[in-house]
Structure 1
């Protein structure tokens, strides 16, 4: 069953057999099957306090799964996967993680936990907008009332102040203990790196090693993506200009982008079009915000970046069908539990964003600060909880830590990785020149992680495979030629 979410928010965002239960009353593990995985894995749940300061109060159930090691004879410490967002449910990513981390799973269990507020862990769901909203709605129409409706629903069953990063980590460590693991290796991607950093602060003795992939340091607020997306987009323009076929197909790409943005700044385009998959007539609305946010999501992946010049050029020619096709892919995209997203970002991040920071981030040639709008609308009315000032201090821990950054990343640029590397003395920062968001999305990234887990010396990781990751290539015609 597809999880619901606020439709407009999708425009902004673009994952054991030898287990021992420590507390049979509060947890239960059983063999199970998950979507996309034919073989049996293990599923479980653990009851934890919603409010850790009131352990005798309300309990919530934390859902988790364990992908057992193929060969557990060496009894290696498992890898705990910390999902991104905030708002992704790790167990829903099980099939993807099983495929991508297959080499790692040969010799160690992989633990997936639905963060409180996601998946089957007290999900913070907001009502889905009307059918067809990806086509007929635009980010500029995102309303305060939509947020208020979401808040009303969530407050019926949740004490919102308790759905924060620190309590999530208390849950994760409780699951580790319940499963009988003395220590775990952590992998965090994107927001998962913040979760990993909080884990390093709260429970350092429970951690054997850490991989921070596409780092979101605690001291860097989530939500200011203007300058980082501009950097990523400018690299795309530069690479297209330097590639003969792309430059020949799109010699004026930057100017064409600016023309489309200016055109959409003056009007919202409304068209009657055929649904990209169903063929039925639908209403399609295109605004500046919808155009930029759709392109922004493509910048996350080297696979989807290939189509960006073509999309821009065709939009310049007033052919919006390729853009419509891209938007259609969002219908089947992994859902975000946007109630948790807002609850964390509006309380852990936005209070630290000053007007000067917003102005500075808005002075960019890509989105002009339009990415701030939805967070500001939601956070102006979202219920507040107090975050201790100590939460924002850089994490200092002498735990073996591999830090990975993609140079093309639109949201967590390599400068973020440098911030964390400066306070983690037993770390090494590797920048993948031809990767974007989440270096582990490539076979090379997973190979480096597996190599690190074997010897736990981040400075000795074999990174020669980075030379085999090809530079960006771009689609130069509607027939798909690259």
Structure 2
């Protein structure tokens, strides 16, 4: 669910061939190639109302792709992937998803839809300065004029770019492709989209997978406590690791010392811009230090570097941190306009000053990022109000598999427990040694494939998850020693 306010480059992944089909419902479907997928897939467009309450009014085009089943001799209900963010475009993730869900695709189509406001679905993107980067994301670097200029470039009625209309788009694509039902996988914010889908169109869903749950009732943006929990687990695991504890016996104290040092006297660093290759200066303060460490907690690979980064910063060497920041530049493509349009209208109004103050009382940081969002960014976005039922718990009796990583910094296992309470036909699996979006980095993708076949969330073979190794840590720039 992470995002920074910067220019997000949209890369075209499509190589369209000449063969195409169209129908009178506004659907077009073409053979195409996506990313690094070797086989030919299908790319489509569907025209839908911008405002579903005005079906004869303005239209927008929704972009989607179908990764056809390798063996289509027997029809099986497809799997639709709902992207995270909010603000990720599913079609842009096709290469990685084709690998993650390779077992599923052996016998099922996989449908990827660019949520309205992302990718090629009327994107809420704008032309900001090329210099924007991970190095200028917080506090004094933030310019309200950037957002005002960006919003002025958006076309259409922003109040219609919301979670509920996104689900109407997804179900319209289901119907246009002539599928009576779908299986749905949602990761991170995609779990919220899946929950909204379960409420709005339960008859369209055969089963649901919720991976790293963001319940509708739990606002996006209050991550201080969950990040601190994830970081503290990392420190505990470092202590349990003989090599990590030997190399960094005082890593927790070193973290506190670096924070205090940078809060008192930020460091000015001369660096090469990661994308432009031009010399630039970077002011590193305590907020940027903790914010970039927080980003590493999402993945097991990132977590493995955190003790080393802290230790090197304690010794006055910030190169490992800078290098890691550069390597993540552009890694998570998020359409910032849609992200804030949703968060500022569906989440921020539900967060009280007391909730923010409580979340800020943690051992990791002081919630600068959320203050920036709620106080400054959201005040600039047009306002809309979700439907009255939007925030109510979802109680659909649809077979549901819930996945949580115990080390997750933003969607902790307690979120999965919260949703499971109101879903009578669900099963919650907590993977001890996993972080955010469990299926992307563990054998859970095989369990998902089993679930899609059995539709019995409580009768799955989970044994492979017990074999997921404990997290390991890099103890030098040369690796684990």
**Shorter-chain TM-score: which interval?**
over 0.9
The 8 Å contact of residues 94 and 112 in structure 1, kept in 2 or not, is answered as yes
Alignment TM-score, normalising by the size of structure 1: 0.93
Q: 1:352 to 1:386 in 2, by over 3 A?
A: same
How many residues were matched structurally? 468
Q: Equivalent residue for 2:195?
A: 197
In terms of mean alpha carbon deviation, does 282-291 or 321-330 score higher? 282-291
Q: Give the match for residue 379 of structure 1.
A: 378
1:57 aligns with 2:57: yes
| Distance in 1 between residues matched to 2:196 and 2:6, nearest whole Å | 30
Give the drift of 1:430.
0.4
2:243–2:480: 8 Å Cα contact kept in structure 1?
A: no
Q: In 2, distance between residues paired with 1:314 and 1:335?
A: 29
CA deviation after TM superposition for structure 1 residue 351, in Å: 0.1
**Aligned 8 A contact 2:128 2:146 in 1:** no
Per-residue CA deviation, residues 218-263 of structure 1 (Å, 9 max, x unaligned), is 0000000000000000000000011111111111111111111111
Deviation of 1:135 after TM superposition, in Å, equals: 3.7
- Name the residue aligned to 2:72: 72
Counterparts of 1:444 and 1:59, CA distance in 2: 41
Q: Deviations over 1:416-435 (max 9, x none)?
A: 00111000000000000000
Instruction: Measure how far apart 1:134 and its partner are.
Output: 3.3
- 1:220-235 matches, cutoff 5 A: 220-235=218-233
Per the alignment, residue 32 of structure 2 pairs with 32
Structure 2 match to 1:424: 423
Deviations 1:66-86 (A, max 9, x none): 000001112000000000000
Alignment of 1:323-472 (within 5 A): 323-376=321-374, 377-472=376-471
Task: Report if aligned partners of 1:21, 1:179 keep a CA contact under 8 Å in 2.
Answer: no
Contact between 1:138 and 1:287, CA under 8 Å: does it hold in 2? no
| Equivalent-residue separation in structure 2 for 1:347 and 1:225 (angstroms) | 18
| Root-mean-square deviation over aligned CA pairs | 2.0
2:8 and 2:412 map into 1 onto residues whose CA distance is 22
Q: 1:351 to 1:332 in 2, by over 3 A?
A: closer
Give the equivalent residue in structure 1 for 2:244: 246
SS of corresponding position for 1:60: strand
- In structure 1, the residue matched to 2:16 is none
SS of residue paired to 1:31: strand
Is 1:213 the counterpart of 2:211 in the alignment? Answer: yes
Deviation at 1:25, TM superposition (A): 4.3
Relative to 1, partners in 2 of residues 1:188 and 1:42: Cα closer, same or farther, differing over 3 Å? Answer: same
Contact 2:224 2:365 (C-alpha < 8 Å) held by counterparts: yes
Give the aligned partner of residue 105 of structure 1.
Answer: 105
Deviation at 1:275, TM superposition (A): 5.6
SS at match of 1:44: strand
Aligned to 2:90: 90
TM-fit CA distance, 1:21:
8.3
Instruction: Give the match for residue 17 of structure 2.
Output: none
Match of 1:45 in 2: 45
Q: Which moved more, 1:360-369 or 1:324-333?
A: 324-333
Q: What residue in structure 2 maps to residue 153 of structure 1?
A: 153
Matched, 1:293 2:291: yes
Conserved 8 A contact 1:276-1:324: no
For residues 136 and 202 of structure 2, the distance between their equivalents in structure 1, rounded to whole angstroms, comes to: 48
CA–CA separation in structure 2 for the residues paired with 1:127 and 1:32: 28
2:7–2:127 CA contact under 8 A, matched in 1: no
| 1:35 shift after superposition | 1.6
| Superimposed CA distance per residue, residues 360-389 of structure 1 (whole angstroms, 9 cap, x where no aligned partner) | 000001012223123122112211111233
**Matching residue of 1:268:** 266
- Distance of 2:182 and 2:132 partners within structure 1: 43
Q: TM-score, normalised by structure 2?
A: 0.93
Unaligned runs of 5+ in 1: 11-19
